[in-house]
Amino acid sequence: MANTSSKTRKNSQTAQAPVARIRLGLLTASIWERVQLTGTFYSVTIDRRYRDSKGEWHTTHSFDKANLLTLAKLVDLADTEIIRRLAAHREQAAA
């Protein structure tokens, strides 16, 4: 049975550009914003680029042990960016 909710989420995310992208080496965090009646919410997708044996570039969502510290730093930077954006939303709402 197909998971239609994840397919719908991917389609809605690809329809809009991420509000921020953070890149460390071959890893990229894309930050997505969802504005709803109850507030603004954020989610993050992380990709790793690599070259195959033919030299062609590909994207994966899998990480090797060698990527883990960079991945942790990237997630920390994404979290910091989301906190900054949420604070800006609160300031705008208070003004």
Number of domains in the chain: 1
Q: Is residue 6 part of a domain?
A: no
Residues 15 and 33: beta-carbon distance below 8 Å? no
Mean pLDDT of 50-57: 97
pLDDT value of residue 10: 52
Q: Is residue 12 part of a domain?
A: no
Band of pLDDT at residue 11, cut at 50, 70 and 90:
low
Greater model confidence, 4 or 92 = 92
Which structural domain range is residue 48 located in?
18-94
pLDDT at 31 over 60: yes
Question: For the purposes of burial, counting CB atoms within 10 Å of the CB of 64, is it exposed (0-12), middle (13-18) or buried (19 or more)?
Answer: exposed
**Which pTM was predicted?**
0.80
pLDDT at 46 over 50: yes
Q: Is residue 42 part of a domain?
A: yes
Q: Is residue 5 part of a domain?
A: no
